[in-house]
Amino acid sequence: MHRHGYKGRKFGRERDQRRALVKGLATSLVLEERIETTLPKAKELVRYIEKLITKAKRGDLASRRQVIAGLSTQAAAFKLVDAIAPQLTGRTSGHIRVVRTRLRVGDGAQMAAVEFVDELVVVTKETQPKPAATAPKAAAKKPAAKKEAK
């Protein structure tokens, strides 16, 4: 039998198990920003997460919903869309790096580290820029104070 036209790896699992595996790996990568797994799983993860990152960079409501469906948790999806994707706008593809690390002790499987190519800055509520909506309110209060002084 030939392998022509058969995309993807099966990992000795059925379809639902395979999808859950890749979805879990993608969620872990988004939350941890660097994971270590076997080389074939890492290569398959890159195909999956690159498409999700492209959708997250679009940022509209439909793309956000597709990203939520593609990851296991909403927290991971929100982190990808709101914190990670804006930092990756300088690239059109190639957001993920796969680096071979070691051979696993138990079975000798080739392990690989999966990480983002660009250094990601941790975005917290303190480091986020303040919304522009607060500035006009402050400006509106100043003229009112001048009227009271007269």
Asked if the model's pLDDT at residue 139 lies above 80, the reply is no
pLDDT > 70 in the chain, percent:
81
pLDDT for the residue 105? 96
The dihedral of CA 135, 86, 35, 49: what is its sign? Answer: positive
Of 91, 81, 93, 85, nearest in space to 120 by CA: 85
Residue 96 φ then ψ, to 5°: -115, 140
Asked if the model's pLDDT at residue 121 lies above 60, the reply is yes
pLDDT in tens, 13-42: 999 999 999 999 999 999 999 999 999 999
Q: CB of 114 within 8 A of CB of 97? A: yes
Q: How many CB atoms lie within 10 A of CB 148?
A: 6
Residue that is written with structure tokens 């309110």 in the block: 137
Strand ranges inside the chain, DSSP E = 34-38, 96-103, 110-116
pLDDT for the residue 1? 72
d(CA 88, CA 118): 7
Of 4, 21, 23, 3, nearest in space to 13 by CA: 21
Rounded to a whole number of angstroms, the CA Rg of the chain reads: 22
Given this structure, which CATH class describes domain 15-121? alpha beta
Asked if the model's pLDDT at residue 134 lies above 60, the reply is no
pLDDT for the residue 122? 79
Two tokens, residue 122: 């941790």
pLDDT for the residue 47? 96
Rounded to the nearest integer, the mean pLDDT of the chain is 88
pLDDT for the residue 2? 86
pLDDT in tens, 81-110: 999 999 999 999 999 999 999 999 999 999
